[in-house]
Amino acid sequence: MVETRVKPFQRYTSGIHHYQVENALEIQFGEAKGFYSSFKIVLQEKVNEDHTKNWLIEKAEDSSFPSENKFMEILHVLEQSSYPLEIKVDEKGSFLSAADHQKNIENWKLKTAGLQEKYQNVDVFRNQYLSAYEDEAGFYKNKLKEPFWNLLLFAPYYVDNGGKNEESIMWNIKGIGDVECLGIIIAEQREYGFDALFTSEIKVPEIIQKELDKKYLYQAGQYKVKLQIEMEYNSHKKQYSKKKADFILSDGEKTVYRETITMT
């Protein structure tokens, strides 16, 4: 019997690809808080001679950011102005670097040049953001902590049809730190492509436990993480038609932090 290989490379056909992104965050460290955002992602791919690829990514908000807090509004505008971003990825779709970091910065400068007409003292925040932007390694390290970037870039190399392979993905718990989620991915061939499911259930590492104890006083060793990522790959369109991640942090009794994000 010939073994079937499912190869979920992030290969896009030429042209423009659109994703609708829905992101929900629930935090219950003592006081319950909820956050929701919805936006569109537009991705255009160009294949390079060395088999790497450039992805030009635009991010468009579905609605304007509420203006009750001017400081947060300024930071939101500065961040939003960093798009479109052009990055370089390998064949698998894993991030390598900015395609032209200086070009990205110059575009950002043009888009934010007139903000002083709308906001007082915006130059202080703009200069701080620019300083962080010019640190290419640090800027993209923080940028890639965003949940939709996790989903966009996550693509296992291959799994046996019906078998299981080990994979891992880094997830950022806001205000706490990064957790490496080690787990298993399985995939099944379908007529249109394949379905894949990644599942990880781990105890949080000690450094994360210490940060959690500062916010939520429970005995050490009780916090657990569960992450599930559902993926549907369309072979005809050569792209994922759906990715959904559900990240849950619990204290052994209840969920204290949950982040759900869907790209369709």
- Helical residues (DSSP H) of the chain, grouped into ranges: 70-80, 101-112, 122-134, 136-143, 147-153, 206-215
Residue 218 confidence (pLDDT) above 60: no
Q: pLDDT digit string (tens) for 130-142?
A: 999 999 999 999 9
Q: 102, exposed or middle or buried, with CB in 10 Å at 0-12, 13-18, 19+? A: exposed
Residue 1 confidence (pLDDT) above 50: no
Phi/psi for 238 (5° steps) reads: 55, 55
pLDDT at res. 63: 62
Q: Tell me which range, 55-69, 90-104, 154-168, is most confidently predicted by mean pLDDT.
A: 90-104
Residue 99 confidence (pLDDT) above 80: yes
Q: Residue 180 half-sphere exposure, CB side, CA atoms within 13 Å?
A: 7
pTM of the model: 0.86
pLDDT at res. 98: 94
Of 163, 164, 182, 181, the C-alpha closest to 172 is 181
Distance in angstroms (rounded) separating the CA atoms of residues 151 and 169 = 10
Residue 147 confidence (pLDDT) above 70: yes
- For residue 16, CA distances in Å to 12, 30, 46 come to 9, 44, 10
DSSP per-residue codes, 131-178:
HHHH-HHHHHHHHTTSHHHHHHH---S-EEBT-EEEEEEEEEETTTEE
Residue 187 confidence (pLDDT) above 80: yes
Element (H, E) at 35: strand 31-47
Residue 174 confidence (pLDDT) above 80: yes
pLDDT band at 116 (very low <50, low <70, confident <90, very high): confident
Report which of residues 189 and 13 the model is more confident about: 189
What is the SS3 assignment for 78?
Answer: helix
Mean per-residue pLDDT over the chain, rounded: 87
Buried b (16+ CB within 10 A) or exposed e, 53-92: bbbbbebeeeeebeeeeeeebbebbbeebbbebbbbbeeb
Segment among 30-34, 80-84, 172-176 with least mean pLDDT: 30-34
Strands 255-263 and 239-250: antiparallel
